[in-house]
Structure 1
Amino acid sequence: MTEKACSECHRLVEEENECPIDKNNDLRGNWSGLAVIYDPENSEIAEQLETSVAGRYAINVR
């Protein structure tokens, strides 16, 4: 199954029908770029993506 990205927080979701972070069900298959956040408290990328949860994120979601 292909990953989809949450239109709000950009979290990549594989099998769920809604984002586990913000419970948004607007998941999109058209995304590009990948950021893997391991330590969101010390990550500049996590700050740019405005997330405090570790995981895989899309850079651009269309």
Structure 2
Amino acid sequence: MAEKACKTCHLIIKEGVKCPSCQGENLSEKYSGYIVVFDPEKSELAKKIGAKIPGKYAVKIK
């Protein structure tokens, strides 16, 4: 199964039809680039993109 990116919060998920972070159902398999967030509390970049949980976040979603 291909990874999908949530169009709302940009979290990349491996399986499922609903985003575990924002509960959004608008997912896309077409994205380019990603950012890995390990600790959203301490990461300035995570705060800038609005990441709330650790994981991979898509940079651009088509």
One-letter amino acid of the counterpart of residue 38, structure 1: F
The TM-score normalised by the length of structure 2 is 0.91
Give the distance between the partners of 1:59 and 1:53, measured in 2 at CA.
16
Query: Gapped runs of 5+ residues in structure 2?
Result: none
What's the counterpart of residue 41 of structure 1? Answer: 41
Give the 4+ runs in structure 1 shifted more than 6 A. none
Deviation string for 1:10-56 (max 9, x for gaps)? 00011110100111110001101111100111112201211121111
Quick one: distance in 2 between partners of 1:37 and 1:49?
A: 10
After the TM superposition, which residues 1-12 of structure 1 pair with which residues of structure 2 at under 5 Å, given as runs?
1-12=1-12
- TM-score, normalised to structure 1, is 0.91
Aligned to 1:17: 17
> How many equivalent residue pairs?
62
Letter in 2 for 1:19: C
| CA-atom RMSD in angstroms | 0.9
Consecutive unaligned residues in structure 1, runs of 5 or more: none
Q: Is the helix fraction higher in 1 or 2?
A: 1
